[in-house]
């Protein structure tokens, strides 16, 4: 069994009881998106694929906001495989920097592998699956679907974003509609444009139905 197969087995076991928007199937989709992007984007394939598989091994949202657990779990696992320290460090770098975290900051570090995996992860947050994941997570947190008296908060700090309890429709404005313009790769941008337009059509239909316009 090679390192990819071992990593897949490890992730499946770790996430077997995860919330369905952040479970193995999310990881699998991000992995497939990464393979798709690597067809046209130059990056270290080993680092990118390991980053895709391990990026949500312990999502801080489900660990009281603790962002140290995921990188530590991933590092310990990769060390057990005997991977080069350089590879381990680069994968951990992806895990530590992939998150949206409110989006109100500029990335000060460059990594082609992070560019690819971050785009792959963001692509899974938009489009048809993005819509499904958003409503699934909103239900999991018992958030309102929509409240016309609660406007979206577009200027949250990282800390405010982590602790935010808004409506599911507001999440489209607070994050999902912003992702199209935050893609790193040319291929990611093209795919994101189509998925963005699909979400816009969905939200328009939702609001029209809410207001009895159709």
Domain containing 8: what range? 3-210
CA-to-CA distance for 163 and 44, rounded, in angstroms? 35
**CB neighbours of 67 closer than 8 A, spacing ≥ 6?**
60, 96, 99
CA-to-CA distance for 207 and 172, rounded, in angstroms? 12
Residue 138: what pLDDT?
Answer: 94
Structure confidence by residue, pLDDT tens digits, 14-73: 999 887 778 999 999 999 999 999 999 999 999 999 999 999 998 766 566 678 899 999
* CATH code of the domain covering residue 21: 1.10.3210.50
**Which 3 state secondary structure label does DSSP give 75?**
helix
| Confidence class for position 12, pLDDT limits 50, 70, 90 | very high
Residue 157: what pLDDT?
Answer: 79
C-alpha dihedral over 178, 193, 96, 25, to 10 degrees?
120
Residue 22: what pLDDT?
Answer: 84
| Confidence class for position 160, pLDDT limits 50, 70, 90 | confident
Structural domains counted in the chain: 1
**pTM beyond 0.75, yes or no:** yes
Residue 102: what pLDDT?
Answer: 47
CA-to-CA distance for 195 and 119, rounded, in angstroms? 13
Measure CA 99 to chain center: 7
| Confidence class for position 164, pLDDT limits 50, 70, 90 | confident
CA-based nearest residue to 162, from 121, 91, 103: 103
CA-to-CA distance for 22 and 12, rounded, in angstroms? 11
Residue 93: what pLDDT?
Answer: 96
Structure confidence by residue, pLDDT tens digits, 84-127: 999 999 999 999 999 876 444 455 567 999 999 999 999 999 99
Residue 63: what pLDDT?
Answer: 60
Q: What angle do CA 169, 191, 33 make, to 5 degrees?
A: 95
């Amino acid at each position: 069994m090679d390192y990819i197969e071992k990593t897949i087995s490890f992730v499946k076991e770790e996430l077997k009881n995860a919330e369905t928007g952040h479970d193995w199937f999310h990881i699998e989709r991000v992995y497939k998106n990464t393979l798709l992007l690597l067809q046209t984007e130059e990056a270290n394939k080993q680092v990118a694929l390991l980053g895709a598989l391990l990026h949500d091994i312990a999502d801080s949202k489900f660990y009281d906001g603790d962002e140290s657990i995921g990188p530590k779990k991933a590092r310990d696992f990769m060390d057990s495989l005997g991977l080069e320290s350089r590879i381990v460090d680069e994968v951990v770098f992806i895990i530590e920097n992939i998150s949206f975290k409110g989006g109100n900051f500029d990335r000060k570090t460059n990594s082609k592998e992070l560019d690819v995996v971050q785009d792959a992860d963001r692509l899974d947050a938009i489009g048809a699956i993005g819509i499904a994941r958003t409503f699934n997570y909103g239900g999991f947190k018992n958030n309102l679907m929509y409240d016309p008296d609660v406007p979206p908060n577009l200027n949250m700090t990282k800390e405010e974003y982590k602790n935010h309890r808004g409506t599911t429709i507001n999440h489209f404005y607070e994050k999902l509609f912003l992702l199209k313009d935050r893609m790193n790769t040319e291929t990611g941008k093209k795919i994101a444009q189509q998925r963005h337009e699909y979400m816009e059509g969905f939200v328009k239909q939702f609001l029209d139905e809410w207001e009895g316009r159709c």
